[in-house]
Chains A and B, each alone.
Chain A
């Protein structure tokens, strides 16, 4: 097809003055020929586009005809124009599993949101978000199931999310999702909302962060329209409440929510809730509400492991269509131990420097431009610090924890410390034994194994370990 274009250009060159050809047709190329015969020609700037369209359209059509190109229409674009549309390519499942060894996607959390406007460059977002006629859903279209990277840290939650999309109001109602900050809860629930909307365009879907929920409630209450508030939310087909823990201690809002919740449940409408903790850990909450929240099952998102973090960054880089070396990705994944939000913060920072200096991301890392500052200290944690933090988090003194006590909770604390020293610092069992004051390395091996096994089935322990780990790096 592009050989034909050379011939077409040659014809055009014959047909018009040489100076005009040199001025107007330099860097003009064939962009595409669509199956229905629309020829798209790419011009280097808007001045040339106008001129060619107005003055040389006939010449080009003639030349195309003479070269046997069958076409229905000829259109012109300015190079770069197509970049206005998001560059995201659909990320297929196969691709993800290739990156992540069968595990699949994970939260590219809220930063996908920030890369989407970036792709709608020169965009005029104000005009495009004009869905006044539709129900105001509060959903951000940038969060999709496709750009949610699934890994071992969130595969269960993601699988259930898919079920919810297939069968809203079904078995997993309410869908209760919990996990630490910046791990992709919001992304996943927004993605469910968007997928539901795509499947059922007639659905009224409402996504509300809890604080907006009670602010709205309060303002409606002031204007004596509490009814309107309840009605509004009782009329939706799916309700997504983000960060439900914010409702703790707000009794009136809880009551309103309880009513809405019951109404929706009875009519088989889907309710989706996120939180930073399990339902029964929500304090100052009506027990009736607690039990209802837990009735559909609670699912968690964990901190991603090294491989998951690499996969997240790779997917994000593909989505942004940027080049980044594997070593650079590994470096970032290794350096950031807190959460996905920080991971992406670091990634964005390194890319910004790379673009700014005109060098590759790896060169930025090697030059030390970003190494210090906010994140480097996260890398170096002393064993002492880990032991101190574990003790502090569990309300023990270091002396108690590292003593000889066989009391269950102290023993567990000691084992958590061993586990973290091994997992996070990669210390040898002998060294760990010295650090936590136990007899020998076999005790340590047992302790690590015990915690490793236990957190698989004990949600509370898993939460506890995750929060201590965050504290360690905070």
Chain B
């Protein structure tokens, strides 16, 4: 096998794939390697950690067929330290991998590719395929992943739930305290309901090249594949059921207000300062007579605080929330005005943009 490739191309590709490779102390050492494969002149770099795999197709100057694996991090760091613009040549001699660029050269001990796990195949004819713009994908997903849980005792909440309803594709995530849902694509024909691990999605978000315009998402029964430009990320799906979350979204709330997002963000942050010892609990109140929405917090040691925003209020109500969750929700929203709805009970609080209905965030109130 032999490859001639520009330094920046190889460095970028290695940078993407080496993140997925497992650290050297894994039970299966070959998982810390990257597989370099040249098949009919097409060069691919592959790494996997058995939960997911990344393949990057690298544009090269010249290539001769063959396949080898080498420690991913070592090769990546070596290539990164080479001067930009150099032409790199990688060639194999048995399992020895010689990498040279001008005055620099190194020989790394590789391993034969036979032991490298084969990638799961996706039957593209049977798979459900969605296509969307990379920018919407990135923006939408980052609005949702914030709500995913890190608690591995409830695996189904550690992922993002891709699901279809009313001919639209939605993504949703929850940790049992709050839930975020975003409409992804309208008018889709095929249906899906699958939980994709958050870790895999974060890798997808990091790996998508700047120049990619469109991302393709392929689901089959057990796995999902994201494809953008020359990158392909394949991930297992989480086995489990996601809560029937549409049932949780309150339908007719008694209290509804619309306020300026930045203004609200400011007063919530202020209230959070006084809520540090009360589990970040802040109290949101509406007063129908004075037409104000107020946020307050009390700390026995430090003192207390209350800020108000004037707005249209029809009903007086009160709800206690975790300030961090509210701040997260406000940061995920995009419009100038936001809408907050809650009931006069311990039902979930709904936070949305004032106009667009594409993104919904719900937060469970704290017990008063």
Mark A residues whose CB is within 8 Å of B: 19-20, 22-23, 45-51, 54, 78-81, 83-84, 117-118, 121-127, 348-349, 351-353, 355-358, 367-374
Is B189 close to A, CB under 8 A? yes
Chain B neighbourhood of A127, CB < 8 A: 126, 190
* Separation of A20 and B120 alpha carbons in the complex (Å): 18
- B interface, by DSSP: helix, strand, loop or mixed? loop
Given A46-B223, A80-B222, 4 more pairs with CB closer than 8 A = A78-B222, A121-B241, A353-B247, A373-B343
B28 x A20 contact (CB < 8 A): yes
Is B119 close to A, CB under 8 A? yes
A372 x B345 contact (CB < 8 A): yes
B48 x A19 contact (CB < 8 A): no
Q: What is the 8 Å Cβ interface bit string for chain B, positions 236-263, against chain A (1 contact, 0 not)?
A: 1101111111111011100000000000
B247 x A348 contact (CB < 8 A): yes
Across the A-B interface, the 6 shortest Cβ-Cβ residue pairs: A80-B239, A372-B345, A352-B247, A355-B243, A23-B28, A46-B222
Given A45-B222, A81-B221, also A372-B120 (CB < 8 A): no
* Separation of A50 and B122 alpha carbons in the complex (Å): 11
* Separation of A50 and B220 alpha carbons in the complex (Å): 14
* Separation of A111 and B200 alpha carbons in the complex (Å): 34
Q: What is the 8 Å Cβ interface bit string for chain B, positions 339-352, against chain A (1 contact, 0 not)?
A: 00001111100000
Of B191-199, B202-210, B286-294, B313-321, the stretch lying at the interface with chain A is B191-199
- CB < 8 Å neighbour of B50 from A47, A369, A374: A47
Chain B neighbourhood of A48, CB < 8 A: 50
* Separation of A352 and B51 alpha carbons in the complex (Å): 28
Chain A neighbourhood of B26, CB < 8 A: 23
CB distance from B317 to the nearest CB of A (A): 12
Of listed A81, A122, A348, A367, residue having the most chain B CB within 10 A: A122
Chain A neighbourhood of B221, CB < 8 A: 78, 81, 84, 122
CB distance from A472 to the nearest CB of B (A): 21
* Separation of A471 and B48 alpha carbons in the complex (Å): 62
* Separation of A54 and B128 alpha carbons in the complex (Å): 25
B128 x A124 contact (CB < 8 A): yes
A355 x B120 contact (CB < 8 A): no
Is B326 close to A, CB under 8 A? no
* Selected A-B contacts with CB under 8 Å, 10 pairs: A19-B28, A46-B222, A47-B53, A49-B120, A122-B219, A122-B237, A352-B243, A358-B176, A372-B344, A372-B346
Mark B residues whose CB is within 8 Å of A: 26-29, 31, 48, 50-51, 53, 115, 117-121, 126, 128, 154, 174, 176, 179, 189-194, 219, 221-223, 236-237, 239-248, 250-252, 343-347, 364
A23 x B27 contact (CB < 8 A): yes
A124 x B192 contact (CB < 8 A): yes
- CB < 8 Å neighbour of B118 from A54, A78, A126, A348: A54
- CB < 8 Å neighbour of B27 from A19, A348, A349, A372: A19
* Separation of A371 and B346 alpha carbons in the complex (Å): 9
* Separation of A334 and B43 alpha carbons in the complex (Å): 66
Residue of A nearest to B125 (CB): A127
Residue of B nearest to A114 (CB): B244
Residue of A nearest to B174 (CB): A356
Of listed B31, B193, B194, residue having the most chain A CB within 10 A: B193
Chain B neighbourhood of A117, CB < 8 A: 191, 193
- CB < 8 Å neighbour of A352 from B50, B120, B194, B244: B244
CB distance from B20 to the nearest CB of A (A): 12
B190 x A50 contact (CB < 8 A): no
A124 x B126 contact (CB < 8 A): yes
- CB < 8 Å neighbour of A22 from B27, B189, B241, B251: B27
Chain B neighbourhood of A355, CB < 8 A: 241-244
B236 x A47 contact (CB < 8 A): yes
* Separation of A357 and B128 alpha carbons in the complex (Å): 31
* Separation of A79 and B222 alpha carbons in the complex (Å): 9
* Separation of A46 and B239 alpha carbons in the complex (Å): 11
Of listed A46, A123, A352, residue having the most chain B CB within 10 A: A46
* Separation of A64 and B251 alpha carbons in the complex (Å): 57
Chain B neighbourhood of A84, CB < 8 A: 221
* Separation of A95 and B177 alpha carbons in the complex (Å): 38
Given A45-B51, A372-B344, also A122-B194 (CB < 8 A): yes
Residue of A nearest to B117 (CB): A51
Chain B neighbourhood of A372, CB < 8 A: 343-347
Residue of B nearest to A48 (CB): B50
- CB < 8 Å neighbour of B346 from A348, A369, A374: A369
Chain A neighbourhood of B176, CB < 8 A: 356-358
CB distance from A259 to the nearest CB of B (A): 37
CB distance from B122 to the nearest CB of A (A): 10
* Separation of A204 and B154 alpha carbons in the complex (Å): 47
B29 x A19 contact (CB < 8 A): yes
Chain A neighbourhood of B179, CB < 8 A: 356
B29 x A367 contact (CB < 8 A): no
* Separation of A355 and B245 alpha carbons in the complex (Å): 9
CB distance from B341 to the nearest CB of A (A): 13
B347 x A349 contact (CB < 8 A): no
* Separation of A357 and B177 alpha carbons in the complex (Å): 7
Chain A neighbourhood of B248, CB < 8 A: 349, 352-353, 356
Chain B neighbourhood of A54, CB < 8 A: 118
Chain A neighbourhood of B128, CB < 8 A: 124, 126
* Separation of A374 and B343 alpha carbons in the complex (Å): 11
Chain B neighbourhood of A353, CB < 8 A: 243, 247-248
* Separation of A54 and B120 alpha carbons in the complex (Å): 11
Chain A neighbourhood of B245, CB < 8 A: 352, 356
A45 x B236 contact (CB < 8 A): yes
- CB < 8 Å neighbour of B117 from A50, A121, A370: A50
* Separation of A47 and B20 alpha carbons in the complex (Å): 14
- CB < 8 Å neighbour of B51 from A20, A47, A83, A374: A47
B191 x A123 contact (CB < 8 A): yes
B120 x A356 contact (CB < 8 A): no
Of listed A79, A352, A356, residue having the most chain B CB within 10 A: A356
Residue of B nearest to A115 (CB): B244
* Separation of A423 and B347 alpha carbons in the complex (Å): 31
CB distance from A54 to the nearest CB of B (A): 6
A356 x B51 contact (CB < 8 A): no
A124 x B190 contact (CB < 8 A): yes
* Separation of A84 and B223 alpha carbons in the complex (Å): 13
CB distance from B64 to the nearest CB of A (A): 26
Residue of B nearest to A351 (CB): B244
CB distance from B362 to the nearest CB of A (A): 10
Chain B neighbourhood of A373, CB < 8 A: 250, 343, 345, 347
- CB < 8 Å neighbour of B247 from A81, A125, A349: A349
* Separation of A117 and B192 alpha carbons in the complex (Å): 10
* Separation of A344 and B223 alpha carbons in the complex (Å): 32
B346 x A367 contact (CB < 8 A): yes
Chain B neighbourhood of A20, CB < 8 A: 28, 115
Residue of A nearest to B179 (CB): A356
